[in-house]
Amino acid sequence: MKILIKAGIAFLKDSSPVPNAYIGVNDGKIEAISKRELEEYDDAELIVGGFDRLVSPGFVTTQSFIQLYPFRYRIFSGKTNPNDLISTMTSKDAYYFSLLGAYHLLRSGITTVVVTEPFVEQAARAVKTVGLRPIVSAEIGCNWIKGDWKKNFESLYSKWISKDESGIVLKLCDEDEAEEAMAISNEYKLPILVDRNVNLERINNISPYTIALGGGSRKDLEKIRKNNLNLAFTPSLEVCKFTLGAYKPSISIDLTPKFDIRNEMGIATSRLLLTAEEAFKAVTDWGYSQLKIGGGISVGNTTDILIFEVNEPPSYPIDKEAPYESLIYSSYSLETVIINGEAVLDGGVPLNVGTKDIEEANRKVEEIGKMEKN
């Protein structure tokens, strides 16, 4: 499909944001970026955007629990124990709950999401149904993993490593398994998420693909810094007395009540944990790098693209002198999402999820609610 995108501000790879730009996409690949009109795109099949639009690469989140999305308020407030909830869930329930979570992520601009246990494969399939790109987590010593973790890893790896550009990461929750987990990460060149309860100070031969979960609360930040390891944190859940920009972190959506990556960017900026530009990079460039995926708006790239409408309050007006702040604090109205050259959200309407899917998911939520009461 041939697509012409107009941008009031375009957030380009390895460049300062560019005002009043035209972007030409053909068969998923960006062919042209210019301040002048692209005459060769007069015959474009889809023309989107305008000079009252912000055009950004798709956002990425390093960890999520989308299976529990419908119950995030009661879990956060302590009214429901997630373990009790999971014990009543079927794999079909998990699929539909994840569908609701993925639908929410799409509407907030996330195009790539790391999916964790429980029911990781059902959750990943739901993510794909919505049109997003899942990265499954093969977990080691974590709460909801069942059976032999090595066999589970081999099974997930064979299914997901190259499945329609999906991917796989490891997740370590048990220090006793660290040596073998790090060896597998090294051998397969796979990112490995390290739970905040695992202290890297006590581990030797750490994989260079390590992503430590948690911010200022971690006890091993000095080792992370010295070894040039990666960090992923959830700004709304973190208490930190210093900035984190030097670590080039990514952002984890976890199971926060708002479940909105833009809210996490805003909190990171307002609490001075990151500058506005660093917060943007945390959900784009730095996140892509940590997960070893390509991304960014540049000629020759096949990338995910977000188009935000900012032509009326509360998003109005665009401040071209503060582009990153404009994106973080004015990205209320997501108009279009393009993934692999195909629109998966247009005019604010998801194209791959129907009313029947949402109705069935809501019915499943009600069933779980009745079981909890009984």
Q: Is the Cβ–Cβ distance between 5 and 55 less than 8 Å?
A: yes
- Sheet of 2-10, strands arranged across: 29-34, 18-26, 2-10, 46-57, 305-309, 333-339, 342-346, 349-350
In a domain, 144, yes or no: yes
Instruction: Provide φ and ψ at 96, rounded to 5°.
Output: -70, -35
Domain containing 30 equals: 2-57+297-350
Structure tokens at 12: 């380009």
Residue 374: the pLDDT is: 65
Residue 209 maps to which CATH number? 3.20.20.140
Q: Distance between CA 136 and CA 113 in Å, rounded?
A: 9
pLDDT at 184: 97
pLDDT for residue 144: 87
328 in the same domain as 200 = no
Choice among 143-157, 198-212, 248-262 with the minimum mean pLDDT: 143-157
The tens digit of pLDDT for each residue in 91-135 reads 999 999 999 999 999 999 999 999 999 999 999 999 999 999 999
For residue 312, what is the domain's CATH number?
2.30.40.10
Residue 258 lies in a domain: yes
Does residue 145 share a domain with residue 22? Answer: no
The confidence score (pLDDT) of residue 164 equals: 58
- 103 and 144 share a domain? yes
100 and 170 fall within a common domain: yes
Final residue of a domain: which of 255, 270, 290?
290
The amino acid occupying position 234 is T
User: Range with the lowest mean pLDDT among 6-20, 161-175, 355-369?
Assistant: 161-175
Three-state SS for 51?
Answer: strand
Whether 314 is in a domain gets the answer yes
Instruction: Answer yes or no: do 199 and 335 share one domain.
Output: no
Q: What is the pTM of this model?
A: 0.94
What mean pLDDT is reported for the chain?
93
pLDDT reported for residue 155 = 94
Residues 17 and 81 in one domain: no
CB within 8 A of 134, min separation 6: which ones?
112, 113, 114, 115, 123, 124, 127, 128, 160, 166, 167
Last residue of a domain, one of 239, 272, 290: 290
Contacts of 151 (CB under 8 A, 6+ apart): none
Residue predicted with more confidence, 281 or 332: 281
- For the cut 70, the answer to whether the pLDDT of residue 349 exceeds it is yes
Query: What's the whole-number mean pLDDT along residues 41-54?
Result: 93
Q: Characterize 173-187 residue by residue with b for buried, 16 or more Cβ atoms within 10 angstroms of its Cβ, and e for exposed.
A: bbbeebeebbebbee
Shared domain for 63 and 46, answered yes or no, is: no
**What pLDDT, in 10s, does the model give residues 294-346?**
889 999 998 899 999 998 888 888 899 999 999 999 988 999 999 988 899 99
- Asked if pLDDT for residue 1 goes beyond 90, the answer is no
pLDDT tens-place string over residues 193-241: 999 999 999 999 999 999 999 988 899 999 999 999 999 999 999 877 7
SS3 content of the chain, % helix, strand, coil (to 5): 35, 25, 35
Residue 44 lies inside a defined structural domain of this protein: yes
Residue 195 lies in a domain: yes
Are residues 235 and 333 both part of a single domain?
A: no
Structural domain count of the chain: 2
Token pair 């040596």: residue: 179
Same-domain pairing of 50 and 81: no
In a domain, 164, yes or no: yes
103 falls within a domain: yes
| pLDDT score at 354 | 83
Same structural domain for residues 162 and 183? yes
Give the pLDDT score at 147: 84
pLDDT at position 319 is 92
Query: Is position 361 within any domain?
Result: no
Region at 109 (left for phi over 0; alpha for psi -120 to 50; beta for the rest): left
Q: Are residues 39 and 184 in the same domain?
A: no
Looking at the structure, tell me whether residues 266 and 131 fall in a common domain: yes
**Segment 156-194, tens digit of pLDDT:** 999 998 755 679 999 999 999 999 999 999 999 999 999
